[in-house]
Amino acid sequence: MPLTSITKDATTLTLTVVGDYPVAQQRLWDAFADPRQLERFWGPPAYPATFTRHDFQVGGRAEYFLALPEGQKWNGSWRFTAIDPISAFAACDGDDNTGDENMPAAMTFAFASTAAGSRITIVTRFSSVEALAQTTPGMEEGLRAAMPQLDAVLAQHGTTTALA
């Protein structure tokens, strides 16, 4: 499994996910920057993700849904607040965190080269201890199921496809 660690910190109201991969930093970045690649691993296998919008620029939005086995959809969105190509990007809940108070307030995705390839560190910040406690068990379970799918995506060299 590529995940190195998942750490919940009630003091800083964060959930930190670290994954190490045997690919170049650029390749790891590309998997997150390309919606067609991202949707192949963002949702757990039983809840596949579909990105309907991916305007990957500061102020742009990503909109997606997870297809639930019962035929329902869970909608999600991000608003990109910072992008440093190949190194990092940050996003907040696409609805400016006004919908569900338990949703993460902000997420940062940092990419770095390592001796064995590259590392991603995803830090999700929450607005309260209650939101952290209520949301992280499901998030952790979902990430543990979803992120191993990234290995298969990284093994392929896809082309970048942008959605607006």
- Distance CA(91)–CA(81), nearest Å, equals 5
Q: Check if the beta carbon of residue 57 is closer than 8 Å to that of residue 42.
A: no
The one-letter amino acid code at 153 reads V
Per-residue CA distances from 135 to 13, 38, 138 (Å): 11, 22, 6
Structure confidence at residue 49 (pLDDT) = 94
| pLDDT per residue rounded down to tens, the chain (164 residues) | 478 999 999 999 999 999 999 999 999 999 999 999 999 999 999 899 999 999 999 999 999 999 998 889 989 999 999 999 999 999 997 664 344 555 568 999 999 999 999 999 999 999 899 989 988 888 888 888 888 899 999 998 644 444 44
Q: Enumerate residues 6+ apart whose C-beta is below 8 A from 134.
A: 102
Residue with tokens 């209520």: 134
Structure confidence at residue 1 (pLDDT) = 47
DSSP string, 89-158: EEEEETTTT-S-TTS-SEEEEEEEEETTEEEEEEEEE-SSHHHHHHHHHHHHHHHHHHGGGHHHHHHS-P
Q: Check if the beta carbon of residue 13 is closer than 8 Å to that of residue 128.
A: yes
CATH 3.30.530.20 fits 3-44+85-155, yes or no: yes
Largest CA distance in the chain: 43
Structure confidence at residue 147 (pLDDT) = 87
DSSP string, 1-40: --EEEEEEETTTTEEEEEEEESS-HHHHHHHHH-HHHHTT
Per-residue CA distances from 47 to 23, 36, 69, 122 (Å): 26, 16, 7, 20
pTM over 0.85: yes
